[in-house]
Amino acid sequence: MNYLLRQSRRVVRLAKAWLKFKVHGSPKRAPQYVLLLFEARCEPCPHYDPDLKECSICECPVSPDVDERNKLLWATEECPDKRFLADEQNGSESEPHSETGGTVGL
Ligand code: SF4
């Protein structure tokens, strides 16, 4: 039962994230930014599960790869522990690092 509940919550979260991604025009982060976010934020994070290659808080896949399932590729996604923001929420004045012109904030 716990497994079904966990999977149901995961599907709902994915559906919400996908809808937000599509509503904003499917903005993706540049490959080098995905790698930077992974190495600087997720890989050293205590919530990163290297066995499952996912975040233990949101249960999303995170990796350095340009993979459609990778949370870090979607510029509308942010860290549930506020270690990085969605690109459009990042008020930094730094150079753009995503294909959408978003900013890093690292
Ligand atoms: S998404 Fe955030 S909380 Fe999750 S592993 Fe990455 S940095 Fe950590």
Whole-number Å distance between alpha carbons of 64 and 36: 8
* CB of 62 shorter than 6 A to ligand 1: yes
Residue 94 lies in a domain: no
The mean pLDDT value for 81-91 works out to 82
Residue 24 lies in a domain: yes
DSSP 3-state of 74: strand
Residue 12's domain comprises 2-89
Residue 7 lies in a domain: yes
* CB of 40 shorter than 6 A to ligand 1: no
Residue 35 lies in a domain: yes
Centre of ligand 1 from the C-alpha of residue 59, in Å: 10
Residue 51 lies in a domain: yes
The predicted structure's pLDDT at residue 6: 86
The predicted structure's pLDDT at residue 79: 97
The predicted structure's pLDDT at residue 90: 58
| Radius of gyration in angstroms for the set of CA atoms belonging to the chain, rounded to a whole number | 14
pLDDT at 96 over 80: no
Residue 13 lies in a domain: yes
Within the chain, strands assigned E span 48-49, 54-55
Judged by phi (left if over 0) then psi (alpha if -120 to 50, else beta), residue 94 lies in beta
Check if the beta carbon of residue 83 is closer than 8 Å to that of residue 14: no
* Domain count along the chain: 1
The mean pLDDT value for 50-76 works out to 94
The predicted structure's pLDDT at residue 102: 44
